Structures are given as C-alpha cells and as structure tokens.
Structure 1
Amino acid sequence: MNTFSTETLDRLFTAVEEDDIVDAETTLPTEISLRCSQDKIDDNYALCLQFWEQGFTREELVGLVDAFLANPDLPTPVRMRYKYIRARYKHLRFALRLYSKAHESGRLFHFTTVLMGHFQDAFRNGNQSNLKYYGAILRLFLSKPVWSLVRYTLRHTRLESESGFIAYRQDQMRKLRVLVANPKLTGKQFHDVRKIVSQQVSFYDTLRSIDPHNSEALTLSRSLAAINGLMGDKHDEMVADKLAGRRSYDEPAELNADIRQRLELLVAHYPM
C-alpha cells in the first residue's frame, strides 16, 4: 500500500471535520463522473487505513474508555479527542463498504464502531448504566487479541475492481432514488438515506485529500456534506422527539423540503 504525507492526512482530517457543515452556496456539478481507476481505489483505501492506524493508539483509546468510566463528566478537550478517534473509525468503515470486494466492514470492526457510538451517547447524557454496560463490552473489543485480528483483517482486505466499484455506487443511488420517492420516511428509512449520503461524502473527501486540485471532488464533497448536515440536524430532532415521547422514531414523517430537493437533484444528476 502507498503511504501518504502528513499534509494529505491533515487534509483528510479537515474534510472529515466538515462532513456536516451546511454551505448554502454549494451546487452539484452538471455532470458526475463515475470513473475511478484501480490505482485510485487502492490509494483511497490505503489513505483511509493510514488515517485510522496513525491517528491514535490502542492504549490511548482504552485509556479514554477507562477515564470516562471513572468520570463521565470529563472536560471538552478529552471529549473531542474521543470524538476524533471515533470519526476515524467511521471513515474507515465507509471505506470498507465502498472499496472492499464484499462491500462490508467486517463484524468486529463494525461492532467496535457501533459500541463507540453507544458509549459516547452514554457519557454525553450521563447514563451510568449504559456507560458501564457499553464500556465493558468496548474494552473487550479493544483487547490485544481482538485488536490484532482486526488490524490483520484490515490490512488483508480484498478490494473491488473498477467496474465493480462503479456498479456498487450506481446500486446505492438506485436505492436512494427508491427511498426518496416515498412521500414519508420511517426512522430506519431516513437512516438508510443518510448512510448512503455519508458514504458518498467519505469517497469525495478522500479523493480531494489525495488530489487537492480535484475541483469536482471538492464540489461534490461540500454539496453532499450539506445534505449530511441537514439530515444530521433532523436526526437529532427525531431522537429528541422519541426521548420526550412526542413521536415514535419509526413513525413515518415527511422529509424537510430542502433535504428532499437536494436529494432529488443528486439522484437526477447521478449517471445510472
């Protein structure tokens, strides 16, 4: 695998940080190219793996878990450090779904990423029972034997071909088109839409980081990030309504007009 410079890693960190920033001025390009050579697929995955491997150590992450278990009310810089590590997990999970031949992130890696999210929710909301429960399981998943197995699997992932990668992205967009055609979406359907958008954001984030002169990748990254940000805000509302007993998470609801318009425009521009 290729190894990338600190500057490239820094650009990816910045791009990931902007994944939910809504820029009202962004517009989609007239045409979206699906071409992505085998070398680019290989490099994209290599950068995402390096971004994960060099962003933290197992010992640091275990130390953070232990720190939150001892005191869930830790200062903002510590919380942000945990958030940034989790962001690296999420970005690599998207990469595995995009670039691997199986288009899956693997059970152990996937469950670790999910557990990190539940653990973060627990210390954010001061939920001691969930904090202890998810913390105990997370420590198991971060044990040396599991960690070594996960790292070996990540380094020996079979990557998709150029034609297979194009077909996968088109299939995802067809699923998005079907979902968006519904007048109302359940919580699960809303989550499925956001997952597809987030994967696309991560693809263009990685492209623009490797090639900062790729204007199409930058434009698509920012346009998709705007959708991702709007959907993130809406998801927070849905969760708050669920917790307050105002509305069930799975009760079908209409999409915000702005989100729907952006999604319909994306589907219309995407070559299928």
Structure 2
Amino acid sequence: MSARHRFKAETLAALFQAVEMDDVVDPVVSLPDPVPVACSEKDMKACFDLCVQFWHEHADRRALCDLVATLLVTGDLPQDARVRYKHIRASYKQLRFALVLYGRRHKAPLLFRSTVALMGHLQDAFRNRRRLAVPAYALLLRLFLLWPAWLAVRREVEQVRLDDATGFLAFRKLEFRRLASWLGEGALTGRRFHMMRKVVSRQVSFYDAMRTLRPDEQVYRMSRFLSAINGLMGSMHDNLVEQAGNGHRDYNRDRFPMPADIRWRLEALTASYPLAAAA
C-alpha cells in the first residue's frame, strides 16, 4: 500500500466530534436531495487513512490492558473508565467500518474483527452485570492484547488493499439493496436487526469521514440523518441484548415488528438512495 497521509490534530479532533454524535438522534434533520454518493479513489484512500490514524491515536494498548485488568478484578468499571473504554472501542469500530467499506474484500481481517467483537461482548457483559461472562471475555481480550497478537493485528491492517471506486460503488449498492430487502421481511429477529444496524453504522462512518475531510452541507445532513437511525437502532439493540441476557428473549429466533420511528426513516433512506435501485 502507498504511504499514508498524515492528518493534523484538528482534523482528528473533528472526526472524534463526529463519532461522538454518530448515535445522537436529531428529530428535525431531513435527507438531502439529492443524496450525495460520489466518492473517488482519492477520497476513499483519504477516508481510510484518516480512520487508520484515528485508531492508532486512540487505541491505547496500555490503557485498554489496564481497563481489562480492572474488569478481571472487580467485574465492572467506574463511569470515567467506562467512557475511556467506549472511546477506545469507538476507534476500533471506526476502523472496522473502514476496512469493510474500502477494502477490496469488504471484510475486516480475522484478528482485527475478532478483537472488536470481543470488546463488544465484554461491554455488553459488564453493562448488563453478567458476572460470569465478564471474566471470560476479559481474559480472551487480554490474550488478543499480548504483544504477538497486537503486532499481528497491526500487520493485518497494513496489508489491506483498497478497492477501486467502481467496486466501492457496487458494494454500497449491494448494502442498500439488502436494507430494502430486509425491510420487506416484516418481522425481524434480533440477529437480523443487528445486521441492518451494521449497514447503517458503516454508512454513518463513511459520511462522518467525508464531512470531516471536506465540509459540505449535503454530506453533513446525510451524516446526521443516518446518525438518527443509528441511535434509535442502537438503543433498541441494547434492549434486545439485555432481554436475551436475562432469558426473556431468544435473540436468534424471536421475531418482532420494526418500530415505526425507525421504519419510516429506513424506508425514506432506501427510497432516496440512488444506488438502491437495481442496475
């Protein structure tokens, strides 16, 4: 891969601010018309390089090891430590989205995505006070933070090859077709709902990066509209995970209707997005 662009501190701070808002629900924001979709290979590389640098600067291995050590001893984190954990995890998630969006395989490498998944399972465990699950996930995550695994994860990221603009366009088209198809299913399982939210989260990530690099009103509105969907879906998914952990719901089998405030936004999004239509 060619040399990475290095961004100024204020650019990283602007992305951090955008990420902090990527699940904040703005009740009055509307979709831009037309929906902005253009992205050159130069833009793709800039977005990817930004997310890699964001991860390097916020994924503090020593701080994460300390948080894991606290969880192994106490089973929980105080509020300030929870915020630190959230910020580190956010940098991992932002890069995972970038690896899926811009990478030629449109899939995060195995060790990297396993690390992110463990961080999510661990956070769900200590937030929902699942005392037996916390040490199990914490121990697994600690193994992934040992130097050999840590270096292997960094090497995975450096070896990723980016797609071209045509491939990226085709991937986004496929993502929005999937959203439209899943909306047509009616009732959903927790698993399907989570898959839909991941599509939305990836798009939030893309527009957050684009508006950070090239401030634009249409891109900003798209970012905020997607963030509203992401926030609503995130809150509901937290409830689904808690119910599953308490034995009140089968996450993979029990079905439920999509809430109206999420459905109308997703329907508006898939109807307006020019890549949602068949080629």
The alignment covers a number of residue pairs equal to: 271
Alpha-carbon distance between aligned partners in 2 of 1:85 and 1:97, rounded to the nearest angstrom: 19
| Runs of at least 5 residues in structure 1 that lack an aligned partner in the other structure | none
Deviations 1:209-264 (A, max 9, x none): 112x2112211110000011111122233234334444433312111111111101
Q: 5+ residue gaps in structure 2?
A: none
Give the 5 Å matches for 1:205-220: 205-211=208-214, 213-220=215-222
What residue number does 1:235 align with? Answer: 237
Pair 1:266-2:269 in alignment: yes
**Structure 2 letter corresponding to 1:262:** R
CA distance in 1, matches of 2:102, 2:58: 21
Cα distance in 2 for partners of 1:229, 1:39 equals 30
Question: Which secondary structure does the structure 1 equivalent of 2:266 belong to?
Answer: helix
Corresponding residue of 1:8: 11
2:126 corresponds to 1:126: no
**Following superposition of structure 1 onto structure 2, how do residues 22-41 of structure 1 map, counting pairs within 5 Å?**
22-41=25-44
TM-score (norm 1): 0.95
Check whether the contact 2:72–2:139 (CA below 8 A) recurs between aligned residues: no
d(CA) in 1 for partners of 2:220 and 2:72? 40
Q: 1:42 aligns with which of 45, 53, 75?
A: 45
1:253 pairs with 2:262: no
Among the aligned pairs, what percent are the same residue? 45
- Show the counterpart of 1:198: 201
> Which of 83, 103, 107 is 1:104 aligned to?
107
Q: Which amino acid aligns with 2:68?
A: V
Q: Which one-letter code corresponds to 1:224 in the other structure?
A: L
- 1:106-145 deviations in Å (ceiling 9; x for gaps): 1100010111112222222333321221111111111111
Offset at residue 191 of structure 1 (A): 1.0
Which position in structure 2 is the counterpart of 1:57? 60
Q: Give the residue type in structure 2 aligned to 1:9.
A: L
**Whole-Å Cα distance in 1 between the matches of residues 136 and 248 of structure 2?**
27
Q: Residue in 2 aligned with 1:168?
A: 171
Q: Establish whether residue 138 from structure 1 lines up as the match of residue 148 from structure 2.
A: no
Match of 2:80 in 1: 77
Stretch of structure 1 that moved more, 50-59 or 165-174: 50-59
Q: How does 1:148-163 map to 2 (within 5 A)?
A: 148-163=151-166
3-state SS of paired residue (2:274): coil
CA RMSD after TM alignment:
1.4
1:138/1:73 CA distance change after superposition, 3 Å: closer
> Residues 134-174 of structure 1: CA distance to partner in whole angstroms, max 9, x if unpaired?
11111111111111111122122100101110110001001
> What's the offset of the Cα at 1:194?
0.6
CA 1:247–1:116: 2 relative to 1, 3 Å: closer
